Amino acid sequence: MPKRIWINIRTETMNFNIRKDSTMPFLVMRQRYNQELDYDVLNNMLSNCAVTFSMVSEDTGVYKILNKPAEIVTRTKPYKDEYPLEYLLLYRWKKSDTNKVGLYRGEFRIDFLGQEYCDLSLTVPIEQTLYINVRDTITKTEVIYR
């Protein structure tokens, strides 16, 4: 009998703050799952997928980021569990992503690849809205590399 997991897609927090012109901290969304799926099937699906991130201005409706590459990373849970791995969606900011102060909405899209899953995709978060607040900064420095 294959192992089964419970799927419940949610994030720990739906508000993310970053300073203008910053590239860290990375945007990380932890996945929990709300539908029962075969654990091996899920691992197989997530090992063969394309992940993108988009971010749109709350004020103007204009996309600041549109379908830029993102990542799924795994980590071992710090506590004992029947399923020791957890999946994290991660977006690495570019300086141009955060060069305008404002409130944005963000989403990750996972497109599953391969013959078995080629028509399947998932956009997260599902039930909530991920708000990204790019806040102003008083620091105005530029590092010059030699």
Instruction: Pull the structure tokens for residue 80.
Output: 């004992």
Report strand pairing: 130-135 vs 15-19. Answer: parallel
pLDDT tens profile 35-47: 445 555 667 777 7
Instruction: Give 59-112 pLDDT, tens digit per residue.
Output: 999 999 999 999 988 877 777 766 667 778 999 999 999 999 999 999 999 998
Query: Is the confidence at residue 6, as pLDDT, over 80?
Result: no
Check residues 75 and 134 and name the one with the higher pLDDT: 134
Other Cβ atoms less than 10 A from the Cβ of 99: the count is 12
What pairing do the DSSP bridges indicate for beta strands 102-112 and 130-135? antiparallel
The structure's pTM equals: 0.79
- Ordered by where they begin, the domains of the chain are 4-135 (2.60.40)
Cβ–Cβ < 8 Å for 133, 17: yes
DSSP-derived 3-state class of residue 47: helix
